[in-house]
A and B are shown apart, each in its own frame.
Chain A
């Protein structure tokens, strides 16, 4: 005889959960995704606190302060130190003090507080990557929906445009667009964006990644277009726009949500690369890419100037990717969507 006896008591009815609630629960249970999200939110919070930190520490991250002298533990410490040994060659910025009140990560070659610049730079990097993601999603989704749903000439034209964009190596295309717009800005009809504006990298990055979103969306829409509920709506004479908005868009929404963190990570890398090449964020504004560029000339003596923003990029991108994977698993465990890499 078995120890186990089967219960014959009726199972209490459980209240059904909606798909979004189930997804949220799965996401919540994914520990690595939650840790990644927490890390990313911490970085965002720190960057948002940049003005507060600069005021508290009494530093101006955009003003050259080569002759500044700090008082640390009662000792005068110059922000930039002229070598007095040997031939007296070289002018070295202050290294990390590991004291939050005084140049925690040291100074750059303009005598500016690296930590304060990193926080302000992070704000720009995050803003650009987020805004570019929104732009990519809007344009990519619109193109994908139209191409997949209307088909025919619309599909042919839009798909060829995507093919052209896809054919260029991403960085080459981004660099070309940046160089063209760098000196004169961007003027399209009444819309004028001056050179040096943060909107320029947003638009450039937003445009180059459109195929990454539009193509999978188009594929999904092509499949949905043949589904019974869409065919029924068409046969009932429901206008195309209404079908797209009410029936198709909600069905691709999960894909778009999964795209958000993954695109942000990709955009952050692209923005850093462009800024590192001096064709992204323009001085005196900073981004993590521009700070790495500043630190390049100090790698031998003050490696933290380049290492710190490099680490910030690496951690942010990793956090976004891990969270993005978790989000994808939560929304659709069977999904095979992966972002391509150029």
Chain B
């Protein structure tokens, strides 16, 4: 997923310099206080079924619950799916097409209203009624979803989500088995909200949840206040643990420079935005105990449009992959501590990842150095030398720097290249639309949930290519029927044998990499800069720092 638009997650926790306490028992002595968070701006709507930003998916964790959720634990344990509002993981029947959940009893919303199966049914209907951004992708496999997608206002999901009030169960029927359905149900878009929640974007009005905290004040121009949910009683430490601070004050509007200074002075506890590059040396030396660096299951890449010259020629695409010096790009991102070179699609420590690197001086499993001579030879062979190439990048310091570097690489191997930085607000949709005839761009993808399909199928599957649309995430326009069939086979295999499916995804990863519809650049790491008083820092692989599991006193 795109970092700005979607939630992200990470692979494993690695803390360098900072302390990473092991998952421990709740320590009452640290309970209380006000935690102060900072961000440059708000993350948009408060509606958990609509908001699709990392910023708010992270803050929604102690506020909302689904039937299942990702475990609130550090590192890769955060990829584990655990029962949340459901008593247990669902019973699967009907060849994996029917999931039956038993709802926990005694859970209340922050309004005091008790959670019932009616709330669950209404919440699933609401996903479609409010046109949740993932309604047509993640939840389209629920029986009745096609009608809901066609006529959202009258959505009933008849036969798709069925409640049994007496038994306290919810049955979800799928049109076909889906190996990833639990991951999809664990996302904030499947949060369970009160049945009477209006079927429209909640905007700046907080929606009641069942979590340990609730939003008690919100002004998108100023900030957000979280306070304890008075009706919360912990039912699962894995799914919705009680938090430490009494209040979480999240303020918006400062620059990254000002945020770093505020944390240094102890006036704030954490900043959502990444510290500016010119402050990294300072915080990495003088404040190293307050810095946490965590690798992410994410990918910076340069999609190459396989339907436009010169990259409609596979040799031209491979040439660029050979020529790009990943170490240079890593340095542009802030150095090897903050990123690692890659030359395949699936990030390290990710399901289906098997090290593979054909585009390096000594092809094998690891990138070592660019092979510019080979690149020039491929350009000659492709007959594309001298053609014009424009690289479209975001107008941010790092993206612009990468674009300028790629322009110099393209020039070096024989193209007439230029770089076009455009506003971050429009670049992501601009490069997706085939009408804009983008030959090459720079983008990022952060996983929605830990599955190889979330990279390979989403970014390079035929179903993700929609010519003429702003929502065509397969920016390369890559559609190889044979590879696409293998993806569908792997998805089906995952229902019964995930390990075998992951082996298949590894083969697909290699096949896509060989076709070079994108230049893999690097996998980034995440920097969290926290105040001196912040303790018990836990970095969850799925939702990053678990805010309320840290203490400030």
Question: How far does the Cβ of A171 sit from chain B's closest Cβ, in whole Å?
Answer: 16
Stretch at the interface among B71-79, B281-289, B304-312: B281-289
At the interface, yes or no: A320 with Cβ under 8 Å from chain B? no
Question: How far does the Cβ of B273 sit from chain A's closest Cβ, in whole Å?
Answer: 13
A297 touches B276 (CB 8 A): yes
A300-341 contacts to B, CB under 8 A, are 300-302
Stretch at the interface among B137-145, B216-224, B398-406: B398-406
- Which residue in chain A gives the minimum CB-CB distance to B284? A89
A89 touches B335 (CB 8 A): yes
- Which residue in chain A gives the minimum CB-CB distance to B277? A297
Listed residue (B278, B282, B397) with the most chain A CB atoms within 10 angstroms of its CB: B278
Interchain residue pairs with CB less than 8 A apart (28):
A62-B408, A64-B328, A64-B405, A64-B408, A66-B405, A83-B285, A86-B284, A86-B285, A86-B288, A88-B335, A88-B337, A89-B337, A89-B338, A90-B281, A91-B332, A91-B334, A91-B335, A182-B422, A278-B421, A282-B418, A282-B421, A283-B418, A283-B421, A284-B419, A294-B397, A296-B397, A298-B277, A300-B282
Known contacts A278-B395, A278-B421, A282-B418, A87 near B407 by CB under 8 Å = no
Given A64-B404, A89-B338, A282-B421; 10 other pairs, CB 8 A cutoff:
A83-B285, A87-B17, A87-B285, A89-B527, A90-B278, A90-B282, A91-B334, A110-B405, A282-B418, A296-B397
- Which residue in chain A gives the minimum CB-CB distance to B418? A196
CA distance A62 to B291 in the complex (A): 35
At the interface, yes or no: B257 with Cβ under 8 Å from chain A? yes
CA distance A70 to B281 in the complex (A): 22
CA distance A286 to B283 in the complex (A): 31
Known contacts A66-B328, A282-B419, A88 near B284 by CB under 8 Å = yes
At the interface, yes or no: A254 with Cβ under 8 Å from chain B? no
A183 touches B408 (CB 8 A): no
CA distance A198 to B497 in the complex (A): 59
At the interface, yes or no: B113 with Cβ under 8 Å from chain A? no
At the interface, yes or no: B336 with Cβ under 8 Å from chain A? yes
At the interface, yes or no: B293 with Cβ under 8 Å from chain A? yes
Residues of A within 8 A of B276 (CB): 297, 300
B498-543 contacts to A, CB under 8 A, are 527
Known contacts A83-B284, A278-B395, A299-B278, A183 near B338 by CB under 8 Å = no
B403 touches A66 (CB 8 A): no
CA distance A148 to B184 in the complex (A): 70
At the interface, yes or no: A30 with Cβ under 8 Å from chain B? no
Q: How many A-B residue pairs have C-beta atoms within 8 angstroms? Tell me.
A: 125
Question: How far does the Cβ of A87 sit from chain B's closest Cβ, in whole Å?
Answer: 4
Residues of B within 8 A of A163 (CB): none
Number of interface residues of A (CB under 8 A): 34
CA distance A196 to B110 in the complex (A): 55
User: Digit string of B313-349 for contact with A (CB within 8 Å is 1, else 0)?
Assistant: 0000000000000011001101111100000000000
Contact pick for A87, options B288, B332, B401, CB 8 Å = B288
CA distance A166 to B415 in the complex (A): 43
Question: How far does the Cβ of A36 sit from chain B's closest Cβ, in whole Å?
Answer: 35
CA distance A283 to B397 in the complex (A): 12
CA distance A111 to B132 in the complex (A): 45
CA distance A282 to B338 in the complex (A): 28
At the interface, yes or no: A195 with Cβ under 8 Å from chain B? yes
Residues of A within 8 A of B285 (CB): 83, 85-87, 89
B335 touches A66 (CB 8 A): no
Known contacts A80-B331, A182-B420, A87 near B408 by CB under 8 Å = no
- Which residue in chain B gives the minimum CB-CB distance to A302? B278
Question: How far does the Cβ of A41 sit from chain B's closest Cβ, in whole Å?
Answer: 32
CA distance A109 to B335 in the complex (A): 12
A283 touches B419 (CB 8 A): yes
At the interface, yes or no: A220 with Cβ under 8 Å from chain B? no
Contact pick for B334, options A64, A90, A183, A283, CB 8 Å = A90
Residues of B within 8 A of A85 (CB): 281, 284-285
User: Digit string of B384-421 for contact with A (CB within 8 Å is 1, else 0)?
Assistant: 00000000000101001101110110000000001111
Residues of A within 8 A of B338 (CB): 89
Question: How far does the Cβ of A314 sit from chain B's closest Cβ, in whole Å?
Answer: 23
Residues of B within 8 A of A67 (CB): 327-328
Residues of B within 8 A of A110 (CB): 332, 401, 404-405
At the interface, yes or no: B485 with Cβ under 8 Å from chain A? no
Residues of B within 8 A of A297 (CB): 276-278, 397
At the interface, yes or no: A32 with Cβ under 8 Å from chain B? no
Residues of A within 8 A of B420 (CB): 182-183, 195-196, 282
A71-110 contacts to B, CB under 8 A, are 80, 82-83, 85-92, 109-110
Residues of B within 8 A of A296 (CB): 397
CA distance A341 to B423 in the complex (A): 28
- Which residue in chain B gives the minimum CB-CB distance to A298? B278
At the interface, yes or no: B436 with Cβ under 8 Å from chain A? yes
- Which residue in chain A gives the minimum CB-CB distance to B527? A89
At the interface, yes or no: B237 with Cβ under 8 Å from chain A? no
At the interface, yes or no: B176 with Cβ under 8 Å from chain A? no
At the interface, yes or no: B105 with Cβ under 8 Å from chain A? no
At the interface, yes or no: B279 with Cβ under 8 Å from chain A? yes
Question: How far does the Cβ of A84 sit from chain B's closest Cβ, in whole Å?
Answer: 10
Residues of B within 8 A of A92 (CB): 278, 281
Contact pick for B281, options A66, A80, A284, A301, CB 8 Å = A301
